[in-house]
Structure 1
Amino acid sequence: MGSLGAAGSMASMPLAQQKRLVALELPATLNGIACTLKFKLHPRAESLMVSAEPNAKNQHYIWQHYLNAWAVDGTFCCYRQKDKKLFSTQPKAVASESYFYEAQQLTAGDIKFLEDFTSRATDERHRELNRDYVKITQLTFELRERLKSTDLLPEVCGDLEEKLRWAERNLGERYHAGIENKCQDILDSLRSGDDLFYKDEMRCADFLYFLALQYFRTAKMREGLSNIPSYVPGHDPRRTAKILNHIFATTSALGCSGKGTPIKSYSSRTTRRFPSSRGTSRS
């Protein structure tokens, strides 16, 4: 933590100097861990840099670029099963929740459950990837605990808390956005019937991880993982569901990678466009 972790070292600093130090050091700490995660999990993903960007409150669990393919003049029809209702809407308004990827602080029981689950993998790369992912989700909470031992002024602590909350709410969203952006050209190629990318080992790996992540990150999948039996005291499946979907995605992607798994393309010739059977947006 450097200066931020040194209790008593900042007491004599003026407010402006404390703010400048914090403004430089906290983002550097978060960005350093984020970059480590980026290169270990997905070397060519977009940056997860902490920035002054506003919160992306409306976070999609189905990629808008998917949904846009069904839109005509920016809108499409959805069918909400619960209400038995057909309605017209826009891609930005469905398959999303407020702060869907917001990180949650894990208990010792949660971490033990995840470690028990992760340690079952036979591939050491797989175990390392998933342990690193757990670490990044807990980074802001660890930083917040360390800051309690400092003598920062209240105004500076307020600035720090704002940055930590930004990271908790947005790093997960930005990670998914990076994966999606790297595979947008692949999806566009598939829509035109071109699957040559699949012969490139790196691009194939990109695609398999992207595809697995899209499948396991949905609200319905998270709901299922939130209801699994818990055998570890202090473990709440609702807290670990966001991490389990990542573990399942890496398991699936690594399991298919390098095996020459065939892919098949299907074309829809229907006149009506229904991108999702759920067709819901929750906040």
Structure 2
Amino acid sequence: MSYGPSVPPRGNLMVSLACVWKTDTSVLFGVEEHEGIFVFENVAKNQHYVWKHYLLAWAVGDRVTCRRQRDRSTITTNPKNIASSRYFYELAEFSDLELQYLDNVAKRSRTELGRKVNGNFVDMFTVTTKLRRLVASLPPRDDETRAQTEELLRNAERGLGESWHVLIEHKGTPYLDRLRTGDASFWTDADEAIDFCFFLGAQFTRTARMSKAVRTVELPLGLDLARLWPLESHMWGTEIGAGFMQNRATTQATILTNETSVPFITGDQPIINLRPQADPKSVFYYPITPKIALRLTIAEPGCSVSTETVSQFEAERLNHQMFEWSDDQIYGVDGDYLEAMTNLPKTERFYADC
């Protein structure tokens, strides 16, 4: 069981800063404690909040059809151009109050492992804030040194979150590939399931929809959750992943096969809870391809895997719920169908149960 950021990815930001400042690494910042922070060069500006490899299942050739709701347009494009935003995972420079808040969130995890993992997230994603403060306290340097320092720190703030999701995607690739063949047998093996559970948690919280939803949450003392979410989302993803793992013994994994004329669609919130108000019996839905989806039903007796064939009505219902959960974009193989879906009210309920 290897999941969780015990140390950040390899590379060393402190060593690079030390070279710029021509000083010992220990002067810059506890390198023994924080060894391994990435040095980022050529950070991707266009950062995906839905995994590009995942979206390729809806590609015809190398192009995916996307319906954008805000400008009411349908495009067919390379998946690198959708479900993404400029420096989406960029970290803020945190204040003392924000650092204290993040430490408190990490300590409120339900398990000792969760507290440790989330504490590691705080250490990893606030190191640039602490380095900025330390550099500011050192004697002034020339303009070139200051510019090089700013570039190193700025690139780290822009690249840390993206790189962490790349690592999670790497762990998730074998599971997604198996699901695309209709194989969810790994669900009954605890050693295999753990990485998949945390992968699911990360895909649930990383999206633009979740980022925008938290902006409506009011925090005490004037804290702005929009500034904190690029870090806090990792902690909540861990909590959700731990919840999947904790409930796995009473969760049924069902492969839904769709042979109807209405293929499954997906959206910019690709994992959804079909019963968000029905805790503890939640039902999570994750379309995998136009023909295959995964449903996780929590609070069922035993840990099991089954297969179920959906009707056209069920496919329509699930597609509408993907649309309902979406922020702006839905994806599929039929642009006319996507346009027709977005002409429906998002709040329409043409089904009685999930």
| Range into which the TM-score falls when normalised by the shorter chain | 0.7 to 0.9
Which one has a larger percent helix, Structure 1 or Structure 2? 1
In the alignment, what sits opposite 1:220? Answer: 209
Runs ≥4 residues deviating over 6 A: 1-5, 22-32
Equivalent residue runs for 1:1-283 within 5 Å:
19=20, 21=22, 33=34, 35=36, 49-51=38-40, 53-151=41-139, 152-231=141-220, 233-258=221-246, 259-260=248-249, 261-269=251-259, 270=261, 274-276=265-267, 277=323, 278-279=328-329
Contact residue 49 and residue 206 of structure 2 kept, 8 A:
yes
Q: Against the structure 1 CA distance between its residues 208 and 26, is the aligned structure 2 distance closer, same or farther, given a 3 Å change threshold?
A: farther
Cα distance change, pair 22–79 in 1 and its aligned pair in 2 (3 A): farther
CA pair 275-30 structure 1, distance change in 2 beyond 3 A: farther
1:173-209 Cα shifts (integer Å, max 9, x gaps): 0000011012111100111122233344232110000
Q: CA RMSD in A?
A: 3.3
| Contact preservation (8 Å) 2:198, 2:238 | yes
* Correspondence for 1:44: none
Q: Distance in 2 between matches of 1:25 and 1:158?
A: 21
Q: CA deviation at 1:33?
A: 3.0
Q: Over residues 55-99 of structure 1, what are the superposed CA-to-partner deviations in whole Å (9 max), with x where a residue is unaligned?
A: 111000000011111001111211122233322222000110000
How far off is 1:34 after superposition? Answer: 6.8
Distance 1:61 1:99 in 2: 10
Q: Aligned residue pairs: how many?
A: 255
SS at match of 1:97: strand
More strand by percentage: 2
TM-score if structure 1 supplies the norm length? 0.78
Unaligned runs of 5+ in 2: 1-12, 268-322, 331-354
What is the CA distance between 1:122 and its match in structure 2?
3.0
Same amino acid, percent of matched pairs: 31
CA distance in 2, matches of 1:162, 1:187: 36
CA distance in structure 2 between the aligned counterparts of 1:215 and 1:3, rounded to whole angstroms: 35
User: What are structure 1's unaligned runs of at least 5 residues?
Assistant: 11-17, 36-47
Asked whether the equivalents of residues 226 and 239 of structure 1 are also in contact (C-alpha less than 8 Å), the reply is no
1:150 Cα deviation (Å)?
2.4
Distance 1:216 1:186 in 2: 19
Higher relative contact order (CA 8 A, sep 6+): 1
String of CA shifts for 1:83-142, please: whole Å, max 9, x gaps: 333222220001100000111122233334334444333312212222221222221121
Q: Which amino acid aligns with 1:127?
A: R
Would the aligned equivalents of 2:63 and 2:76 in 1 still touch at CA under 8 Å? Answer: yes
Q: Secondary structure at the match of 2:257?
A: coil
Q: TM-score scaled by structure 2?
A: 0.63
Distance 2:78 2:105 in 1: 39
Q: Distance in 2 between matches of 1:228 and 1:4?
A: 38
